[in-house]
């Protein structure tokens, strides 16, 4: 369930409906017309929806670090925020894009995945440092820039910033995992 009142698509404002239709082109609406995830809250503010979906599409399709590392950064963020919907969706996608189950299990257990490839370790370290301390120590910054370049580091930071916004949206509006799915974190 969500705190939002379910609003059928035909009862949305013209601006909301435009964003709804845009999102529904790539996401199948549920039987009640809802879109799930952060999308239903976002379309309440059409400009937020337009911009958020645009940034989300960039993160999914065009970062310089690739989808495997993006999904790893997302699950580190989901774990930090204890975001059930984010964890449910993206732990599966992380596996599909090549993150090992052991690394996923380590992220869930809040352990550094010592056996992970170096690019995953750097990604994990960057995400964890920023979430936990809100800083990127000089040595870690240098490792990240050496591994990914400045542009790649910007892409990783944008990913965790965006998925922090997703997690906060899901939390504020109490968006749950789909019926029948198990929540990873207690409410």
pLDDT in tens, 42-101: 999 999 999 999 999 999 999 999 999 999 999 999 999 999 999 999 999 999 999 999
Same domain, residue pair 69 and 154? yes
Predicted local distance difference test score (pLDDT) of residue 179: 87
Query: Residue 179 falls within a domain, yes or no?
Result: no
**Residue 171 — pLDDT band, cuts 50, 70, 90?**
very high
Mean pLDDT within 127-131:
98
With both helix axes pointing from N to C terminus, report the angle between 46-61 and 14-24 in degrees, rounded to the nearest 10. 20
Same domain, residue pair 97 and 52? no
Mean pLDDT within 20-33:
93
**Residue 19 — pLDDT band, cuts 50, 70, 90?**
very high
Same domain, residue pair 78 and 37? no
Same domain, residue pair 34 and 118? no
Same domain, residue pair 28 and 13? yes
Same domain, residue pair 47 and 75? no
**Domain end position, chosen among 24, 39, 59:** 59
Domain count, the chain: 2
d(CA 158, CA 63): 10
- What is the pTM assigned to this prediction? 0.95
| Structure token digits, residue 11 | 């009862």
Same domain, residue pair 168 and 88? yes
d(CA 30, CA 56): 21
| Structure token digits, residue 174 | 């109490």
Instruction: Please determine, for residue 6, whether its predicted confidence score (pLDDT) is greater than 90.
Output: no
Query: Residue 167 falls within a domain, yes or no?
Result: yes
Query: Residue 71 falls within a domain, yes or no?
Result: yes
């Amino acid at each position: 369930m969500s705190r939002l009142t379910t609003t059928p698509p035909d009862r949305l404002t013209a601006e909301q409906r435009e964003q709804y239709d845009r999102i529904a082109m790539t996401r199948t609406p549920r039987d009640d017309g809802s879109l799930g995830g952060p999308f239903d809250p976002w379309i309440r503010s059409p400009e937020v929806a337009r911009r958020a979906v645009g940034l989300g599409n960039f993160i999914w399709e065009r970062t310089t670090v690739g989808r495997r590392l993006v999904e790893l950064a997302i699950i580190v963020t989901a774990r930090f925020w204890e975001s059930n919907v984010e964890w449910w969706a993206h732990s599966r996608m992380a596996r599909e894009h090549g993150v090992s189950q052991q690394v996923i299990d380590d992220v869930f257990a809040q352990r550094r995945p010592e056996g992970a490839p170096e690019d995953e370790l750097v990604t994990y370290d960057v995400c964890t440092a920023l979430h936990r301390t809100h800083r990127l120590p000089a040595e870690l910054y240098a490792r990240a820039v050496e591994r990914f370049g400045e542009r790649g580091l910007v892409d990783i930071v944008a990913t965790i910033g965006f998925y922090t916004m997703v997690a906060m949206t899901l939390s504020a509006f109490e968006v749950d995992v789909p019926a029948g799915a198990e929540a990873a974190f207690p409410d």
